[in-house]
Amino acid sequence: MSLTNEKITIMYNKMVTARLLEEMLHEMFSEHMLHGTTHLGIGQEASGIGACMTLRDGDKATLTHRNHVQCIGLGMNVKYLLAEMFGKETGTNSGLGGSMHLMDLKNGNLGANGIVGGGLGLALGAAFKMHYHKEENVVMCFLGDGATNEGLFHEALNLASIKNLPVVFFVENNHYAVSMNTSRSMKVTDIGQRANAYGIRSIILDGNDAIDVYNMTFSAVQYVREGNGPILIESKTYRVAGHSKSDVKQLYRSQEEVDAWVAKDPIKRLEEYILKNNIANSEMLKEINTRVMDEIREAVLFAQNSLDPSADILNKHIYAK
C-alpha cells in the first residue's frame, strides 16, 4: 500500500511513542525503579517502525535484544510493555520475560531474543510453515550488524536461499556491536554483500529516513510475498544511546561522531517532511507529542498498580503437569 498522509501520521505517532517511552525507561532505570537491563533504540526509530509498518495480517517478525521500537511498530500496547518491564502479571509475558523477551503473538510479534542471532532459526521455522502451506505471508527477521558475524546467520541465509523461504532479513546496521565498530569486525563495506554470496538479493537504505525505509522495505516485502525467496535489507543507522544501561562512559566512540548522527535524527527528519508537505502543522505535531506523553504516564501507573505474578504462574508457563 502506498504511503498515504494518514499512514505517515501514524508512523510519526509510533516513532514519538518509541522515543518518549525509551526516554522514560532510561529515567526509570537510572532511578532504580526498573531492574535488570535494557537496550534502547533511540536514533533507530525510522528503521524499526518504517519496516514493521510494511507488514500485514498474518505476517510475522522476530526481534532482537534491542526491540522496543519494533514492538511499538508492530502494535504492542505500551501499557502491557511497561507492565512486562516492571515484572507484573499484566505484562506481555506475564512478567516473566522482561525487556529482552517481549512478545505479542496477536500482532505477529514472535518475540525478542537475548541471544544474538537467536531469531534467525525461529524466523526460518515460521517461514517454512508459510511456504509449506503456500500462504502469502512473510517473516521479517530483525538483526543487528553484529549478528551477521554469527555462524547461524550464514547457515540461515543459505537454508532460506535454497528453500526459497519468505524471509526478509532486516539488518539494522547501527555500526556497533557493543563497543566493536563494524570497520573492525568485517572487511565488507556493505552487509548485503554477504547475502549475495548465498544467492540472495540485497538492498541498502538510509535507516534514518522513515519515508525511504517504508517505501523500499514495502517493495522488498512485496518481492518476497510474490514467492521470489528471501531478501536482505541493510538499514544504515546509528545507536545514539549507549549499548545497554551499563554503557555509561562510551570510550569507544567520539562525541563528534555521535553529534553527526544526532544531526540526522529520524524524528526531526520526518517532522521536516510532514511540515514541508503540509501533512500536518507544528501545532498538530505538538499535540501528538503531548497525547503520547500522557498515554505513557498512564501506562506507567497501570504497570505500577498491577499485581506481581502469583506462584501459580509457574504451573501455567514453566512446569508441565
Ligand X SMILES: Cc1ncc(C[n+]2csc(CCOP(=O)(O)OP(=O)(O)O)c2C)c(N)n1
Q: Look up cell 511513542; give the residue.
A: 17
Which residues contribute to the site for ligand X (CB under 6 A)?
39, 64-66, 114-116, 144-147, 174, 176-178, 239, 243
Exposure of 232 in the CB half-sphere (CA atoms within 13 A): 30
Closest to ligand X by CB, 258 or 288 = 258
Q: Which amino acid is at 3?
A: L
Q: Look up cell 511540515; give the residue.
A: 275
Is position 97 an interface residue for Mg ion (rule: CB under 5 A)? no
Query: Residue 143: which residues within 8 A CB-CB, separation 6 or more?
Result: 64, 117, 119, 120, 153, 169, 170, 171, 172
Q: Which stretch binds Mg ion (CB under 5 A): 111-119, 141-149, 255-263, 270-278?
A: 141-149
313 binds, among ligand X, Mg ion, none (CB under 5 to 8 A by kind): none
Q: Rounded CA gap, 254 and 179, in Å? A: 12
Is position 174 an interface residue for Mg ion (rule: CB under 5 A)? yes
Which H, E and C letters describe 63-78, residue by residue? CCCCCHHHHHHHCCCH
State the first-to-last Cα distance of the chain, in angstroms, to the nearest integer: 47
Is position 145 an interface residue for Mg ion (rule: CB under 5 A)? yes
In the complex, minimum distance from the CB of residue 140 to ligand X, in angstroms, rounded to a whole number:
16
In the complex, minimum distance from the CB of residue 145 to ligand X, in angstroms, rounded to a whole number:
4
In the complex, minimum distance from the CB of residue 69 to Mg ion, in angstroms, rounded to a whole number:
14
Q: What dihedral angle (degrees, nearest 10) is formed by the CA atoms of 74, 274, 26, 75?
A: -10
Closest to ligand X by CB, 162 or 178 = 178
Q: Which stretch binds Mg ion (CB under 5 A): 138-146, 162-170, 215-223, 290-298?
A: 138-146
115 binds, among Mg ion, ligand X, none (CB under 5 to 8 A by kind): ligand X
Ramachandran class of 164: left when φ > 0, alpha when ψ lies in -120 to 50, beta otherwise: left
Total of residues contacting Mg ion (CB under 5 A):
5
Q: Rounded CA gap, 293 and 57, in Å? A: 28
147 binds, among ligand X, Mg ion, none (CB under 5 to 8 A by kind): ligand X
Exposure of 21 in the CB half-sphere (CA atoms within 13 A): 34
Closest to ligand X by CB, 79 or 245 = 245
Closest to ligand X by CB, 145 or 206 = 145
114 binds, among Mg ion, ligand X, none (CB under 5 to 8 A by kind): ligand X
In the complex, minimum distance from the CB of residue 311 to ligand X, in angstroms, rounded to a whole number:
29
- Strand order across the 201-206 sheet: 60-62, 139-144, 167-173, 231-236, 201-206
In the complex, minimum distance from the CB of residue 7 to Mg ion, in angstroms, rounded to a whole number:
28
In the complex, minimum distance from the CB of residue 141 to Mg ion, in angstroms, rounded to a whole number:
15
Closest to ligand X by CB, 79 or 145 = 145
Closest to Mg ion by CB, 145 or 209 = 145
Residues found near Mg ion in the complex (CB under 5 A): 144-146, 174, 177
